[in-house]
Each structure stands twice: as structure tokens, then as C-alpha cells.
Amino acid sequence: MNAYVSRVIEYVKKRHADEPEFVQTVEEVFSAISPVIDAHPEYEKADLLTRMVEPERMFTFRVVWCDDAGQWHTNIGYRCQFNGAIGPYKGGLRFQANVCPSIIKFLGFEQTFKNALTGLPMGGGKGGSDFDPAGKSEAEIMRFCQSYMTALYRYIGPDVDVPAGDMGVGGREIGYLYGQYRRLKGVWENGVLTGKGFTYGGSKTRPEATGYGAIYYLQEVLRHEGEDIRGKTIACAGFGNVTWGICKKAYQLGAKVVTLSGPDGYIYDAEGVSSSEEKIEYLVEMRNSGRNKVKDYADKFGVPFYPGEKPWGVKADIVMPSAMQNDVHMEHAQQIAANGVKYYIEVANMPTTNDALKFLMSQPGMIVAPSKAVNAGGVAVSGLEMSQNSERLSWSAEEVDEKLKVIMKTIHDMSVEAAEEYGLGYNLVAGANIAGFKKVATAMMEQGCF
């Protein structure tokens, strides 16, 4: 590894010793782009990498809200404006009890390179709160969102920073957040948030975009290998918005999603979750119930449920970890390899621990695709939503879907080219990191040292 890269990784390990997720993502990205640093000694002179691991700005704020029983609560709000070199900061808000600086920073760092890959002018940002939406009433969610936006609205805007959804933040939350933004600012600036409802500027296909994009990317990989998606079995995780989108597209294309997971375990549906619209739409019901239990699916459709287990021991052609970070550890990676899986397609942000990822990438014949490329369709359609809002127009679902397909193909092809340029062969992980990094690095260098 390049000596400067190693030094910066060591520096990050020391400086962020209490932020394991952030250290992990920096290590992954910087190891992959080491050959670029070899080829560009000017980056060391500008100390570009140390600059890149320091967010341009990151702040916390107080979010106070009242529950239905009249009890007051205080949560921590976060926004990390990580890198604005290629566009306004852009990235989701995550509401989950485990949200902390390390998680927000890792997501903001990833987002910077992911957004660069989309080819759209978006910088990297992320935010959220340690608020746990599970079991909260509609009115509590609304009050929380209003309080959150009251603290944040001065620091965002269509040309400044454009939040969106992530775990725990969907269309409903974006609606309440936007309503409060509009009330406070007294202007129609709907480009300030993406993932909005269709009646006030949301882009068609945004709810499906991450899942659809992941399948379009998978199709490019399969095409490269001379294979077809029809009839393939897919092991997925989670049962949220992303997995729902994957199931919908898999249904249309004749592929079979056989597993879902939740905090309580996983389910196995031999016929396929993607075998009927009723099953797919039940995922929405499960999510809206706030119960956060995948066992509900097993009870409803009479399929096996495995409490406390993860689905990675199941035989499938394709594995798509689509739930959350660090879901696949070394022992799972070994099971996946032993099952002869050929396609390991990351979907959630950093779903694989670094040692497990290295192990999977070293398996002969296994193709590994990185999440920052595979899940970029979500934020890409957010970028399209920003364009539609700024031009006060609305594209049809077909138009957006067409653009999404082109973007996913371009991300795949750009990654292939970037890896080939450095003599790395068909290495999608290295290629995506290199392609995203090069764009951000070039913009930062051209804009001077700040």
C-alpha cells in the first residue's frame, strides 16, 4: 500500500479511535484508491487525503418533543456536511436509536463517493437522530419531525444541503419535515428535501429507486458474465423500502427473492417473496405497523421462520445484503463461499465487515459488487428530483426509470473502466472507489486548498 495512504489510515485510527464504523469505511475506500495516490504524487503534497477525512462541517442540535402522555423527551440531532466539492451536500437522515457520530460520519463519507458516481452534481452529507421511531404514534412522529426541522432549517436549502430519507425516515417523515420547513421559511423551496410525496414535488419512482437500481446494476453484472436474471434465486435481508423495491423488480423480471430478515430473525420463502404482489405489498404493511418483526411474514404466509438467525447460510445464486451496516461477518462470508454463491451484491451501506469483504473478494469465481455503486440509484433519483423541482416540472415514472437504468449502467461501466485503467481486471469494488474518488479529488484540487 502507498506510504502516504497508510499514514493517513493510521492517523484516522488514532484520531477516531472511538468511531469504529468511520475508521472501517476510510480503511476500505483508501486501501482501494492506493494506486491512484501512487500515480498522483501531487495529492500527497496537497495533503488531500487528510482533508478528505475531515467533514467540511458537522454539528449536533437539541431536538425536544412531547409524547402523547405529556412527557417531554430530548434527542440529539446530527447533520454532517461532509464534502461539497461537486454540488450541494446531499444525503439522507437516519432516525434510529443507535445513531451516533461514527455512524453519521461513515455514512457521510460513503455518500460523498457514491454521489460522485451518479454523475449528478451532488456533494456528500448525512444526518439523523438517536430517536427511535418504533412504537411511536403518528402525532409523536409529527411533533418530533417538526422539532427536528425547527433546529435544522437555517442550515439547509436547495443550493446548500438537501436531506432525504434513510432508515426510519420515509415519505411520511419527509412530509412533516417539509411542512415545517415551509412554515418557518414562508417560501416554496421544495428542492430542499427529496423523497417527497407526489402532490408536492416528489419524483416518480423515488420510493422504488434504490431497489430497482440495485437490480439494474445486478443485470449489468450478469450481462458481463453472459447470464440472465430470470429464474435466479436471491437471498435478501431486511424488509424495508430497499428490499421492497428489489422484490418488485425481481417479480417483474422473474427472479426469486427467498429470504427476508429483521431484528428477530429471518424467513425463508421457497416460492419467493417476489412471487406475488400481495406478498410484496405486505412488506409495506409490516413496515408501517412499527412492530419491526419479520416473523409477521412467516405467520401470514405459512413459511419457516428462524429466530435470532441471519439468512446467510441459505443456498441462493445471488446474495444481496440489503438491511444495514456490518450485517455480514467472517463466519457468514465463509458460509456464503461454501454455498458456492457466485454473486455477492452489497446493497445496504457497508453491510460487510472489512475482513469478510476481503475474504469474499479473494474467492475464485466470486463477483463482489460494492454498495456505494449498487445502492446509488436511490440518491440518483433524488438528484433527478432536485432537477425537476428547480425547473418546476415533473417527469413520468417511465422517464425517470429510463434515466435510472442509464445511470446504473454508466456506474457499472465507469467502475469497470477505472479498475482496468489500474490493471485490476473486473474488480467492481476497486473500480467504484477509484471512479468516485477521482471525481471528488479532481474537483477539490481544481478549487484550491481550503
Quick one: DSSP state of residue 156?
A: -
- Interface with ligand GLU (CB under 6 A), residue from 382, 388, 415, 433: 382
201 touches ligand GLU (CB under 6 A) = no
Instruction: Identify whether 14 is a catalytic site residue.
Output: no
* Smallest distance from ligand GLU to CB 156, Å: 12
- Interface with ligand GLU (CB under 6 A), residue from 33, 164, 255, 374: 164
**Would you tell me the crossing angle of helices 397-421 and 206-224 to the nearest 10 degrees?**
40
> Which residue has the closest beta carbon to ligand GLU?
92
Residues 6+ apart with CB under 8 A from 227: none
Window contacting ligand GLU (CB under 6 A); options: 89-97, 223-231, 392-400, 422-430: 89-97
Quick one: DSSP state of residue 18?
A: T
How many residues belong to the site for ligand GLU (CB under 6 A)? 10
- Interface with ligand GLU (CB under 6 A), residue from 170, 370, 378, 436: 378
Window contacting ligand GLU (CB under 6 A); options: 2-10, 271-279, 377-385, 428-436: 377-385
CA of 116: how far to CAs of 85, 160, 223, 247, 297, in Å? 10, 17, 24, 27, 37
161 touches ligand GLU (CB under 6 A) = no
CA of 418: how far to CAs of 48, 72, 284, 372, 405, in Å? 20, 52, 38, 15, 20
Q: Strands, E, within 310-415: which ranges? A: 318-320, 343-345, 367-369
Window contacting ligand GLU (CB under 6 A); options: 70-78, 87-95, 140-148, 233-241: 87-95
403 touches ligand GLU (CB under 6 A) = no
Cα–Cα distance, 81 to 78 (Å, whole number): 10
Q: Residue 409: left if φ>0, alpha if ψ -120 to 50, beta else—which one?
A: alpha
Window contacting ligand GLU (CB under 6 A); options: 253-261, 352-360, 375-383, 421-429: 375-383
**Would you tell me the crossing angle of helices 101-117 and 376-390 to the nearest 10 degrees?**
70
327: amino acid identity, one letter: D
Q: Which of 114, 126, 248, 310 is catalytic?
A: 126
Q: Which residues are near ligand GLU by CB under 6 A?
A: 90-92, 164, 166, 194, 349, 378-379, 382
Q: Which residues are catalytic?
A: 126
